[in-house]
Amino acid sequence: VPRLVEISDPADSRLADYVGLREASLRRLLETERGIFIAEGAKVIRRALAAGYPPRSLLLARRWLAELDEVLARYPDVPVYVVEESLAEQVTGFHVHRGALASLHRVERHTVADVLNGRRVVVLEDLVDHTNVGAVIRNAAGLGWDGLLVSAHCADPLYRRSIKVSMGAVFSLPWARLPGGEPGGLLRAAGFTVAALALRPDAVTLAGFAASLEPGQKVALLLGTEGAGLSPAWLAAADVVVQIPMHAGIDSLNVAAASASACYAVG
């Protein structure tokens, strides 16, 4: 039997995991401090649980209880906070139209070494936009890549917006966070050809790079931050710089669009 707890005071400290879900800097602090992340909507909650993230609590409007019945029954010790929709809105700062939220413990599902066992890996340096992180994850998973590594300061793949934009692929694609510094040595030691995606005079075209690959060759694609692109240190760490030729005076693609083009072309 699920542990239902009715709450009618928005200041109730048991709801503290769910405050200010739209405030990125507050959430970054709070989620890091508490070692949690938030999943939104019954489908995403189910996928997070199936991926092995242990739940800490749920926050539901009453009409969503039935929808999650069988899930709740599996976690009789996890409190389920039942609230009015207006109270949920007050606490979270937005209308929770998917009706259900869960706070889950951040556990490391994969290590960097696990991800390096793959053959095709995307590596992100310091992206700041959670929408881009989520879209890259969706692209990498959807185009059959094996894993993702994010730099020490890259935006959080488990932030609510990243999860949503990834369409839950963050729960299936193996990913891990790198220690600081450029990853060239680590990737090469694991047998990868390290390809930096950047617009540079010395770059080869994406089509040329894809055509040059031998069967079975392991490829790691480095993609850079939205404004400045890859740092000099990461660029210098690559075996090859690869560009997608641009036209019509447009200087670059959005990083997620670049990831989709490159993941597809490299195959």
Please report which helix (H) or strand (E) contains residue 132, including its range: helix 130-142
Choice between 36 and 221, CB closer to ligand SAM: 221
Helix (H, G, I), strand (E, B) or coil at 3: strand
Q: How far is the CB of 153 from ligand SAM (least distance, A)?
A: 15
CB-nearer residue toward ligand SAM: 59 or 230: 230
Task: Name the minimum Å distance from CB 126 to ligand SAM.
Answer: 10
Q: How far apart are CA 77 and CA 151, in angstroms?
A: 36
Residue 90 or 261 having the CB closest to ligand SAM: 261
- Residues 80, 60: contact at Cβ < 8 Å? yes
Q: Which residue is nearest to ligand SAM (CB)?
A: 229
| Of residues 217 and 254, the one with the C-beta less far from ligand SAM | 254
3-state secondary structure of 79: strand
Q: CA 149 to CA 138: how far, in whole Å?
A: 14
Separation of alpha carbons 17 and 25, rounded Å: 14
Q: Give percent helix, percent strand, percent coil of the chain, each to the nearest 5.
A: 40, 20, 40
Q: How far is the CB of 252 from ligand SAM (least distance, A)?
A: 4
**What's the min distance (Å) between Cβ of 128 and ligand SAM?**
11
24 vs 174: CA distance, rounded Å = 24
What interhelical angle do 130-142 and 255-266 show, nearest 10? Answer: 10
Mapping DSSP to helix (H, G, I), strand (E, B) and coil, where does residue 58 land? strand
Biggest alpha carbon distance in the chain? 64
Q: Which candidate, 154, 121, 157, places its Cα nearest to that of 140?
A: 121
Task: Tell me how far, at minimum, the Cβ of 251 lies from ligand SAM, in Å.
Answer: 6
Q: Which is nearer to ligand SAM, 168 or 224 (CB)?
A: 224
Residues that bind ligand SAM (CB under 6 A): 197-199, 223-224, 226, 229-230, 243-244, 246, 252-255, 258
Please identify, using beta-carbon distances, which residue of 22 and 200 lies nearer to ligand SAM: 200
The CB-of-258 to ligand SAM minimum distance in angstroms stands at 4
